[in-house]
Amino acid sequence: MGIVREIELPAGVLYIWHITESLEELSHDLLLSDASQQRLSAKKYEQHQKAFLAVRQILRQNGISDCELSYDDKGKPRLRSGLHISISHSFDYALVAISQENIGIDIELKREKIIRLKDKFCNPRELAQAPADFQLQVDYFTEVWSVKEALYKMCNSRSLSFAQDMSVCVFEKQAEIIQADFSVEFTYKTFRIDDYVLVVSQVKRVK
């Protein structure tokens, strides 16, 4: 189906691709680098292969070739131009945000199993603030998880604990990463599409 929505951000744009195409259709007009070919071949599931190609199609349609995208030693994507990029995908959707500022995005399908996992990524305050209604809990914990995924993508550290180092206030749409030597505050926005939650996060203030 292609790009179904473009959302203007304070310093960039979020592109949303609804994946309905075959692998052959998603490969059309794409010229992949050797590194990307290897990454694509390493993906076992067709769904992941489609998401990989959909991301490259988003870039291509915005005049960015695959060779301009690379990954650092921690797996964080970057563009040759110096613009910031964040990537996410879940089942039938692939997202790319391109911004002049550091940005994190995530998309999650709302599923009841998030309730069983909440203790693994939530701190006591987040657990205490959860609504009583079961379906609202699914929405709430999906948002908390998605925000923390988006924050994780913004940071160079890969040693962050979702439960201990990150804190999310759903009601104020704010979040924070706190470790021994630094603290960073974030704001975020949420968007809904079908049964998915989309999160876009940005730095609020560095202490």
Domains and CATH numbers, the chain: 2-101 (3.90.470.20), 106-206 (3.90.470.20)
Q: Where are the beta strands (DSSP E) in 100-165?
A: 103-109
- Band of residue 19 on the pLDDT scale cut at 50, 70, 90: very high
Q: Where are the beta strands (DSSP E) in 21-150?
A: 69-71, 77-79, 84-90, 93-99, 103-109
CA separation for the pair 134, 138 (Å, rounded): 6
Backbone torsions φ then ψ of 197, nearest 5 degrees: -110, 130
The alpha carbon dihedral of 51, 54, 56, 62 has a sign of: negative
Place of tokens 């079961």: 134
Does the pLDDT value for residue 25 go beyond 70? Answer: yes
3-state helix, strand, coil in the chain (%, to 5): 30, 35, 30
Does the pLDDT value for residue 85 go beyond 70? Answer: yes
Helix/strand/coil for 126? helix
pLDDT at residue 206 in the model: 53
Q: Please write the tens of the pLDDT for every residue from 180-198.
A: 777 899 999 999 999 999 9
- Band of residue 94 on the pLDDT scale cut at 50, 70, 90: very high
CA separation for the pair 164, 170 (Å, rounded): 17
